[in-house]
Amino acid sequence: MHDISANVENRIQTLDDASFGPMVLETGGRIAVEFMSYGCGYCRAIEPLLQQVAESIEKDETIYRVNIAADPELADQYGIGGTPTFVIFLNGEEMGRTEGPSPNLQSVMDAVTGPFLS
């Protein structure tokens, strides 16, 4: 597993094809999945903000990431056209998605929590 930001404690687990189903689709609760790539400069730019969001979200919310370069089949399955894309799940069902939020804390927070507020 790569550490996308050496300056920030990593609070977000990276999932692969084998762990995605059990951790996201078969687990109850509110889950945000960031589909990203380690080669994506924009993904690196929002990483410290995403870590801040991970620290401040409710206890029943979880954030994971999927590296689309390592798991392109998951990106295809979810129709990921660009990175970063956040896909939000509630009890294994997709609730919404946001592609490329602005690199500010409020935008990243909205991408992760917005679908739960609707």
> Half-sphere exposure of 55 toward its Cβ, with a 13 Å CA cutoff?
10
Share of the chain above pLDDT 90, in %: 64
pLDDT (tens digit per residue) in 6-20: 444 578 999 999 999
**For the stretch 32-67, what's the b/e string if a residue is b when 16 or more beta carbons lie within 10 angstroms of its beta carbon?**
bbbbbbbebeebbebbbbbbebbeebeeebbbbbbb
13-113 CATH, one of 3.30.420.10, 3.40.1360.10, 3.40.30.10, 3.30.470.10: 3.40.30.10
Q: Do the beta carbons of residue 115 and residue 57 sit within 8 Å?
A: no
Looking at residue 37, its amino acid is S
What is the residue extent of each domain of the chain?
13-113
**Known catalytic residue at 43:** yes
- From the list 4, 43, 46, 54, the catalytic residue is 43
pTM for the model stands at 0.86
Share of the chain above pLDDT 70, in %: 92
Alpha-carbon gap, residue 34 to 26, rounded angstroms: 18
- From the list 12, 15, 24, 40, the catalytic residue is 40
pLDDT (tens digit per residue) in 31-45: 999 999 999 999 999
**Known catalytic residue at 40:** yes
Instruction: Using the predicted structure, report yes or no on whether residue 59 has a pLDDT greater than 90.
Output: no
